[in-house]
Structure 1
Amino acid sequence: MPVSDRLPTLTVSEAGPPERGDAARNRALLLQAARRLVDQRGAEAVTTDDIAAAAGVGKGTLFRRFGSRAGLMVVLLDEDEKAQQQAILFGPPPLGPGAPPLQRLLAYGRERLKFVDTHHALLSDVNRDPQMRFNAPMTLHHSHIRLLLESAGTSGDLDTQATALLDLLDADYVRHELTDRGRSLADLGDAWDTVARKLCGT
């Protein structure tokens, strides 16, 4: 069975019952305000008070709609996560199906590094919440890596090896390597390739 056929979707949120008109409107206002403020200031500088005020709603509305500040930040990532999911599951090779597992794993690492760099502030913010750090998208990225390792014939504890690879894509680690150690995304991609190849026995 192809890897893509066994992967669940990587979306952040599951479809629920339709929201009332005012609830849907408030949700949209909060997301628009949050994205605008994050773009202007960076996620770490934006508070729930800021977002509620910019959206023109009470802070309680934010918590009713999203559960927490981190929950709102996760939803902001949803659209881009879905786009990357489509490329992984249905896009052209080597990121999508049709390439050998190792080639897909190498392409995935480099593509995800670019995603993490672009969305560093939001990913870092979400990772500070213990309940969100291991949310559905992160769990499913782990599953994708594990399945590629398995399809490449990797032996040993695949869960641990997938976790080790996923750690190379941690938002704060990537930012540290880029800003504090002066490495480039190409350097980090080369490091990913080296570890992935060794795990796959090449």
Structure 2
Amino acid sequence: MTHHDSSGPQSVSPEPLELLRTPPPKERADAARNRAAVLEAAARLFAERGVEAVSMDQVAAAAGVGKGTLFRRFGDKSGLAAALLDARERVLQEQVLHGPPPLGPGADPAERLDAFLDAYFDYLLEHLDLVRMSETATPGARYRIGAYRFWHRHLAILLGSAPDPDQTAHALLAALAADHVAALLPELGEPRMRAGLRRL
């Protein structure tokens, strides 16, 4: 988890966003094939049975790899979920960094903030079970995910005129935690939750 100085307002520079979005390392051909087979099998099984109902053993068997290979590569089911989400997150990150306004550069920070909240909420609803798994499998998992640091830095930049942009960005992201959204969505519904994010 990133630690922030809470002593007062901070200036936030946009440059770290590119640094937080590092490309995946190069892989050997056999490792890349195994990784692709695992991700394809996991995506299929999760879609067919639901994330909670699928075990790592089932993923390994469906991918044709050993359990040791799977656990060494992904650690646990949350690591597997994070790997499946990686490509989807990179699309949204690319739109934030280089896409058209208001999600991308060139719009007023308040407009960009609204556009990001809408786009991230859409992404979250589309992949809610996977995001929830990646964020909750181990204590504090959400804050160790590189994408969380990217989203936080982006929001802190947009909130640069707030008294404490870092804390405010964390508070906004807390309302977008997958476990929180999954618990409240049946009661509040999507439009009400989306409107609440805007008010925050």
TM-score band, normalised by shorter chain: 0.7 to 0.9
Q: How does 1:3-152 map to 2 (within 5 A)?
A: 5-8=15-18, 11=21, 14-19=23-28, 21-128=29-136, 129-130=138-139, 132-134=141-143, 135-150=145-160
- CA apart distance, 1:46: 1.2
Percent identity, please: 41
Q: Paired residue for 1:194?
A: 199
TM-score w.r.t. structure 2 length? 0.86
- CA apart distance, 1:4: 5.3
CA distance in 1, matches of 2:55, 2:150: 29
SS in 2 for 1:45: coil
Q: Paired residue for 2:182?
A: 175
- CA apart distance, 1:175: 1.8
Alpha-carbon deviations, 1:70-123, whole Å to 9, x = none?
Answer: 211111001110110111111111111111001100111111111111111111
Moved more, 125-134 or 30-39: 125-134
CA RMSD of aligned residues (A): 1.9
Alpha-carbon deviations, 1:117-143, whole Å to 9, x = none?
Answer: 111111111112236321110111111
CA distance in 1, matches of 2:126, 2:171: 22
Q: Paired residue for 2:5?
A: none
Alpha-carbon deviations, 1:16-41, whole Å to 9, x = none?
Answer: 2432x322221111111001011111
Q: Would the alpha carbon gap of residues 9 and 46 (structure 1) be closer, same or farther in structure 2, given more than 3 Å must change?
A: farther
CA distance in 1, matches of 2:20, 2:61: 31
Q: Would the alpha carbon gap of residues 148 and 76 (structure 1) be closer, same or farther in structure 2, given more than 3 Å must change?
A: same
Contact kept in structure 2, 1:88 and 1:97, CA below 8 Å: yes
**Letter paired with 1:93:** P
- CA apart distance, 1:14: 4.4
Number of aligned positions between the proteins: 187
CA distance in 2, matches of 1:108, 1:191: 14
Q: Which runs of 5+ in 2 are unaligned?
A: 1-11
Q: Would the alpha carbon gap of residues 182 and 17 (structure 1) be closer, same or farther in structure 2, given more than 3 Å must change?
A: closer
Question: RCO greater where, 1 or 2, for CA within 8 Å and sep 6 or more?
Answer: 2
CA distance in 1, matches of 2:128, 2:119: 14
CA distance in 1, matches of 2:140, 2:173: 18
TM-score w.r.t. structure 1 length? 0.85
Which aligned runs of 4 or more in structure 1 are off by greater than 4 angstroms? 2-6
CA distance in 2, matches of 1:94, 1:140: 18
Contact kept in structure 1, 2:77 and 2:133, CA below 8 Å: no
- CA apart distance, 1:10: 5.5
